[in-house]
Amino acid sequence: MQEKNKALAPGLGTFLKLVRFENSLFAGFSVLLSDAEIEPIILFFAAITFIVGLAFEIMIDIADVPGDRRFRVRTVAVCRSGSSAAKLSTALYAGIMLLDPLPFFVNMNPRLYRDWIFLALALVPVLSYLFLCRVLLRTSPQKKSFTLEERPLRSCS
């Protein structure tokens, strides 16, 4: 039954996820919008969010190449290669690592400019992206590094 629904409405699940994400995103941004003008810092962080989401989706598609080929889904990993997808994802994450702390150095918002707490908080995802890029570039896609290993559960008793 589920396969039939996928054939009738391809992309419906993705659309519903997008709508759900959009509603939560709108609710979050509505708190920040106090007038009719959208602040540049909001657009800046929205662009960062989009790039991070794109890099994440490209990275996740590396592990799903056999399934994507079976259902003829065109992804970077299928059309090019897993290593090309890893390099593209790494390049996007590298761009984010440069952009994340930018409001500390450039006066986009006076509350974030030269705010050391903001810089410390901005460096947390930068370090996680750095680790992620290292894993992406060092691990071959053929090793299926992004699939979960099956391990037996052990009882504590």
40 vs 109: CA distance, rounded Å: 8
pLDDT at 89: 94
Cβ proximity of 101 and 126 under 8 Å = yes
Q: Assess whether pLDDT exceeds 80 at residue 137.
A: yes
> Whole-number mean pLDDT of the chain?
78
Ranges of each domain in the chain: 38-141
pLDDT one-digit tens code per residue, 75-84: 999 999 888 9
3-state secondary structure 43-70: HHHHHHHHHHHHHHHHHHHHHCHHHHHH
Tell me the whole-structure pTM to 2 decimals.
0.68
Dump pLDDT digits (tens) for 25-41.
555 555 555 566 778 88
